[in-house]
Amino acid sequence: MSEKPSILIVGAGAIGSFYGAILKKAGCSVSTVLRSEYDVVKEQGIRISSSLGDLSYRPDHVYRDGETPEDYPDYLILCVKVLPGVDRVALVKPWMGPSTRLVLIENGLDIERELADAYPDHPLISCLAFIAASRTEPGVVEHKAYGKLVMGRYPEGIDDHCRELSDLFQAGGIGIDLTEQVVGERWRKCLWNTPFNPLSVIANGADTRTILDAEGGEALIRAMIREVMAVAEAEGYPMDEKLIDLNIEGTRKMPPYKNSMALDYLNGRPIERDAVLGNVVTIAERHGIPVPHLNTVLVTLRMRAKLAGED
């Protein structure tokens, strides 16, 4: 391919801004669609400090959410949080040209389905980001560590679009694991996220060490991981029991930290409850698999949301 494909980032928070910068570095034209940060990015671009060096850039176009596009992008990369109030199908609609490929860099399980159903003729690439990055102020992102993407065609396989995008990300300086089974990779990531993230929220933002060291804490996490595994297996993704030990040991080796959902909660931001937990419980119910520990945490979060007038 002689000319580099054009990229549109929808939802340029920390994640979207960072991966946009990588593709910009790889020589793509990179535009953004913004809501609240439109003015500041339009004026000063996106500033990113990173261990990879200064990744600041000016998007080729800065669109306001709701605007009409000048051109349709080759790849539309969606990086918004998966929340009940966010209609992702509507959000990308104005920007989906006839040959636009849709790329998700988002957390959680079973988050592709509604987009795949809405845009059946567009290739859908699903990605999991392993990255520590945060938006420190409007238009400013701090990339702290990591950055690898696990990527595959949804619901399965690896196609030329995946390969092209993977080459571009790698040219920009980050690692990509292409996978034939991206949904299986989501289950694997949820083995950790689904227990730890929501539990840390109802435990008032507890860090990993507090969760594991409280009396009965490690046993509870193990029981929750086992529940996620049972559901994954029913979905066709059996996993090795040893992953439980590996997840616990890996967590114990790291310094205590608060996961992103705990931080969202502590900072008054909405949490991806259903993407990370609710969808797992729904799938479990479909298979008739009991998940009492996961369900207790989920329903508690729903009570909190109802109390706050959010549900």
Positions that interact with a second copy (CB under 8 A): 199, 202-207, 210-211, 213-217, 219-220, 223, 292-293, 295-300, 302-308, 311
**Whose Cβ is closer to a second copy: residue 42's or residue 222's?**
222
- The residues with which 137 forms a beta bridge, in sequence order, are 140
> Least Å distance between CB 222 and a second copy?
11
Query: Which C-beta is closer to a second copy: that of 79 or that of 211?
Result: 211
Least distance in angstroms from the C-beta of 82 to a second copy: 18
CB-nearer residue toward a second copy: 6 or 194: 194
Does residue 108 contact residue 272 with C-beta atoms inside 8 Å?
Answer: yes
CB of 285 to a second copy, least distance (A): 10
* Cβ closest to a second copy, residue 120 vs residue 216: 216
Q: Give whichever of 145 and 219 is closer to a second copy, judged by the CB atom.
A: 219
Structure tokens at 237: 């993704």
User: Is the CB of residue 150 less than 8 Å from the CB of residue 130?
Assistant: yes
Element (H, E) at 109: none
CB of 266 to a second copy, least distance (A): 11
Q: How far is the CB of 301 from a second copy (least distance, A)?
A: 9
CA distance 279 to 84: 12
Residue 108, both tokens: 């959680």
Q: Which is nearer to a second copy, 39 or 213 (CB)?
A: 213
DSSP state of 57: B
Angle, helix 279-287 to helix 217-234, in steps of 10 degrees: 60
Q: In the complex, what is the shortest distance from the CB of residue 26 to a second copy, in angstroms, rounded to a whole number?
A: 43
Cis bond upstream, residue 5 (ω within 30) = no
Of 135, 151, 181, 156, the residue nearest 36 (C-alpha) = 135
Give dist(CA 164, CA 27) in Å, integer. 13
